[in-house]
Amino acid sequence: MNASVEFDALSRFLRLTKTFATLEAYIERGELPDAVELRRDLDRLLQDTPAHLNETKVIRDLKVGLHIPISLKLYLLARIEQV
């Protein structure tokens, strides 16, 4: 792997993990509109990930982390606000 490809991959991983951490913080604080918008941004970032990075453990873990716990947290917080 050349230096440019490696730099691009590390930059993308950093951006994804920072965005994921911010999303979790929004959810924990109950900032649902911001969380929903950031979730959409994160989904777009993951969709735009180059194929060779989609096979990495980092990307697979982020996808699993997004689709199970975050969706559940958003659902539960929305339900709590309705009560």
Number of domains in the chain: 1
The better pLDDT of the pair 12, 22 is held by 22
User: Which residues span the domain enclosing 78?
Assistant: 3-82
- Provide the token pair at 11: 């930059």
What per-residue confidence (pLDDT) applies to 83?
46
CB environment 38-70: b (16+ within 10 A), e (fewer): bbeebeeebeebeeebeeeeebeebeeebeeeb
- Provide the token pair at 51: 């194929």
The answer to whether 32 and 80 are in contact (CB under 8 A) is no
CA 3 – CA 26 distance, rounded (Å): 34
Mean pLDDT for 53-74 is: 68
What per-residue confidence (pLDDT) applies to 61?
72
Q: Taking the model in full, what pTM does it have?
A: 0.67
The better pLDDT of the pair 31, 68 is held by 31
